[in-house]
Amino acid sequence: MCGICGWIGLDAAAQFDVTHVERMRRVLDHRGPDDSGSRVEDFAAEGRTGRVGLGHARLSIIDLAGGHQPLSNEDGSLWIVFNGEVYNFLELRTALVGRGHVFRTRTDTEVILHLYEEKGVECLGDLRGMFAFALWDARQRRLFLARDRVGKKPLVYRSEPGRLLFASEIKSLLQAPGVGRELCPEALHHYLTYGYVPHPLTMFRGIEKLPPGHFLLWNDGSARIEEYWRPPFRCAPRRTEAEYAERLRDLLTEAVRLRLISDVPLGAFLSGGIDSSIVVGLMSRLSNAPVKTFAIGFEEKRYDELAYARQVAEHFGTEHKEFVVRPNAVEIIPELVWHYDEPFADSSAIPTYYVSQITRRHVTVALTGDAGDEGFAGYPRHKAVKLGQWYDGLPGFLRRRLGGAAWEKLPASVEYRTFRRRLRRLFEAMNLPPRERYVRWCAIFDDGRKAALYAPEFAAALDGQRSSEVFECEYDKVRGLDFLAQTTFVDYMRYLPDDLLVKVDIAGMAHGLECRAPFLDHRLIEFIGEIPTDLKLRGFTSKYLLRRAFGDMLPPAILRRPKMGFGVPISDWFRGELKEYVRQVLLDPATLRRGYFLPATVERLVDEHVEGRWDHGYRLWALLMFELWHRSFLDGAEAPTGAQKG
């Protein structure tokens, strides 16, 4: 795990030196506190002068002494800066040595260089892991950027006439001369729906994310982007249930085994849910020593899972440590804003930040259970999708009686998590087309609420853009599958890389912690794409096949427990200890004068929530994170001291 950055330009755009690259690199030191390096090289291109610069901040995991970057091949014609892990690098290295390649280090980074020598950009097909890298090919005068298949590792860039800048985090690009800070209205519009900015957009106009499973080639002043992989969800010949379970167990066990390769101590996040419990169970079986596990909880019992995590830890005999998050978490909000670079409304970033912090005190690598829900239809919204499929098969007169306005007569519940609130939210959207229905269930602010929120000038600037189009373009790629299978594909393409993986990567790397997710092994994902949905969601039992495949390994109470979710008591905090804080920030006259939102609507949301008339906790959190981001990144405020130090 590391931070990478760099710059390539022609003619006037090549007027930079190593001090510019170092400035970009320094703000990434939290990602790589163990070592750093930079390189600048001149080149000629069709009679034009050019210059390329590479910067690297290293978190040492493999070959602690020999992995300094930027790293070159034998003759210096190739240079690379790399962030991530190639889990099959030992297998690849052995094959490369057998074909005559000579290695100077024991790193997985050098494996990429030698693979590229043989295959060029096709080397990506051989890599099994999480990665983002930039490789300078002096012979072809081209820069090769690539991001892993599912987007575990971030990579952002800015393409301009004659130059390209890239980095692991946006804040690095902002250190380069000539990079402005202008808000992207479309990004804000989508953020208010989903709670994150979907790729390739960022909240900064002119800065983009390289999508997962894509590479970028820059040559002679122009950039070209291509997709090299996407989750291959497809209809396949059906196997027996036992065959699916056996294959699943074999693939996940192998994925965990590969992720135990490390020259530094490692452990695991443990929530007490099925996914992280399976990972910890497999680690225990594959390890010679007790696994170190780390869990987070809350004083509010509705959100606390520590008892479940403790039960799993005792079952597998792990060395277990716990931490309780309290409302004074507001103290770390400026740190979160600085580290995430964009507004990020997933409030579970708070406990993820804390659990990463305490985990890093004991280990450098942590395995997680991330992506089990996406792969095996584990979210409550997946059950809602199945219910929607049933609903769509009813006669029209029944649908009219059950859906839409009929549920507006149900007495409102002011609490977000109550059954009555969820039931009303479910059926209010039932008469929408399935795709729009799913967006509505995922939305923080739906279309109606955004229309009531936006100032007229800001609404006009959006020119009728619909946030549902973000999901619809992914649905179009898998039209031949049943709708639940299509929806889990959309989760892989959007929610995972833009929310869940961003949350974990940024929170972990803020503390120099590498997080590895066995459920994101691409060979496992390719198998998951063939599993029929009735083996993922059997009736209304989620993760059916996962429970069957690992039923003999987990405590029965863990197998039976319903999904709790990594929720945060934001709503409670905004009516209690943080009540004055949310008023102070969102109702500040300077906030209300920005021109994006109608002041009366913001005031109403705050008043209704604080006075207990409605639960707007997640909406207020989204607005709060946007405002604090605006102050930090657009208003010229300085980053918090702790964040600057990394």
pLDDT number for residue 65: 83
Of the pLDDT bands very low, low, confident and very high (cuts 50, 70, 90), residue 302 is confident
pLDDT score for 129: 97
H, E, C per residue of 103-170:
CCCCCHHHHHHHHHHHHHHHHHHHCCEEEEEEEEECCCCEEEEEECCCCCCCCEEEEECCEEEEECCH
User: Alpha carbon 356 to chain centroid distance?
Assistant: 15
Percent of the chain, pLDDT > 90? 79
Q: What burial letters (b/e) apply to 8-38, b meaning 16+ CB within 10 Å?
A: bbbeebbebeeebbbbbbbbbbbbbbbbbbb
Residue 217: strand pairing partners: 144, 224
Q: What is the mean pLDDT of the chain?
A: 92
pLDDT of residue 403: 61
Residue 637 scores a pLDDT above 50: no
- In which band, very low, low, confident or very high, does the pLDDT at 640 lie, cut at 50, 70 and 90? very low
Q: What is the average pLDDT across 295-319?
A: 89
Sorting pLDDT into bands at 50, 70 and 90, what band is 405? low
* Domain 2-227 listed as CATH 3.60.20.10: yes
Model's pTM, two decimal places?
Answer: 0.94
Q: Which of 83-92, 406-415, 563-572 tops mean pLDDT? A: 83-92
In the structure, what pLDDT confidence band is assigned to residue 397 with cuts at 50, 70 and 90?
confident
Burial (CB count <10 Å: 0-12, 13-18, 19+), residue 177: exposed
Q: How confident is the model at residue 329 (pLDDT cuts 50, 70, 90)?
A: low
Q: 421 falls in which pLDDT band (50, 70, 90)?
A: low
Give mean pLDDT, residues 44-73: 90
Q: Note the pLDDT of residue 566.
A: 66
Q: How confident is the model over 281-292, as a mean pLDDT?
A: 96
CA–CA dist 381, 367 (Å, integer): 26
Inform me whether the pLDDT recorded for 64 exceeds 60: yes
Domain ranges of the chain: 2-227, 241-376+489-560, 380-483, 570-645
pLDDT average, residue stretch 561-565? 72
Between residues 519 and 394, which one has the greater pLDDT?
519
- Give the residue-averaged pLDDT of 253-259: 97
pLDDT tens digits for 482-526? 999 999 999 999 999 999 999 999 999 999 999 999 999 999 999
Inter-residue contact 215 to 127 (CB < 8 Å): no
What pLDDT does 404 receive?
56
User: Annotated catalytic sites, by residue?
Assistant: 2
Q: How confident is the model at residue 420 (pLDDT cuts 50, 70, 90)?
A: low
User: Quick check: do 2-227 and 241-376+489-560 share a fold?
Assistant: no
Instruction: Sheet containing 35-45: give its strands across.
Output: 35-45, 48-58, 2-10, 163-167, 156-160, 208-209
Rounded Cα gap, residues 271 and 604, in angstroms? 36
Asked if 41 and 51 touch (Cβ cutoff 8 Å), the reply is yes
Tens digit of pLDDT for each residue in 332-355? Answer: 899 999 999 999 999 999 999 999
With 60 as the cut, is the pLDDT of residue 414 above it?
A: no
Higher pLDDT, 203 or 419: 203
* Tokens, residue 279: 């990972």
pLDDT above 70 covers what percent of the chain? 94
Q: How big is the chain by its Cα radius of gyration, in Å?
A: 25
Pairing of strands 35-45, 319-325: unpaired
Categorize the per-residue pLDDT at 644 as very low, low, confident or very high, splitting at 50, 70 and 90: very low
Tell me, what's the pLDDT at 641? Answer: 38
Four-way CATH pick for 241-376+489-560: 3.40.50.1370, 3.30.420.40, 1.20.1050.10, 3.40.50.620: 3.40.50.620
Instruction: Identify which has the larger pLDDT, 409 or 324.
Output: 324
The reported pLDDT for the residue numbered 324 is: 87
When pLDDT is cut at 50, 70 and 90, the band that residue 408 belongs to is: low
